[in-house]
Amino acid sequence: MTIPQLVNEIQQKKSFLCVGLDTDVTKLPPHLKNMPDAVFEFNKAIIDATKNYCVSYKINTAFYESMGLKGWEAMEKTLHHIPATHFTIADAKRGDIGNTSAQYAKTFFETLPFDSVTVAPYMGEDSIRPFLEYENKTTIVLGLTSNKGAADFELQRTGEEFLYEKVLRTVSTWGTPDNLMFVVGATQASELANIRDIIPDHFLLVPGVGAQGGSLQEVAQYGKNERCGLLVNASRAVIFASSGEDFAEAAGIVAQGYQQEMSSYF
């Protein structure tokens, strides 16, 4: 799925919800834990319960890579179960010298056919260029994150601007609003108006709503643009809404609540 196709889905569903499949095996409902393919069975149920309310799914690859081959197989099966009507994100935060990045891009755009992948910009354009060379794929660059460590580098000044502002301004020239997206944490909502001055047309992937305490209302108020321009991710608040046998039903109820609130911002 491309960004223009994503825009159509957002408008039809009146939703810009992304469900994060950060599936922690230690938090699976007890009745699933002894199943041979517990992670996939959990993800499958979550997807089936939430797909009518969201437009995207984000798979945090760390939760799958940590399980070795079995985790990679669960990730691949999960990816293929996501409907083609939903934008898929490999939250892998890759980025390295060009020939290595080319292999990362092949991993997440070909071997595992995600629509997009998150990347780190620290090593510069040649570390991101291999991702951007893929047609009909989206590269999602870390911009301003919501973790405490953002103060160590992202919020340090480089001359008259913060480092994250320089990253946004510079990286935005390497691609287009149809193949570049940026990560901006919801707990940094006060910065969204400034960010929109720098990159008015690009989509923002916004984590931190829900369990991390970000305000959906503020994100919509300061972050939306003419195409909506937002994907708001909720992970734990949705997928672990219940630890019982009703976990999927509970996830669907929470996702529907997000969609209903989002519809009021159109």
Nearest alpha-carbon partner for 5 in 47, 63, 56: 56
| Residue 166: active-site member | no
Catalytic residue among 13, 14, 77, 93: 93
Q: How far apart are CA 87 and CA 80, in angstroms?
A: 12
Q: How far apart are CA 260 and CA 135, in angstroms?
A: 33
Contact present, 130 and 102 (Cβ < 8 Å)? yes
Residues 6+ apart with CB under 8 A from 140: 89, 116, 117, 118, 119, 180, 181, 182, 183, 205
Known catalytic residues are 93
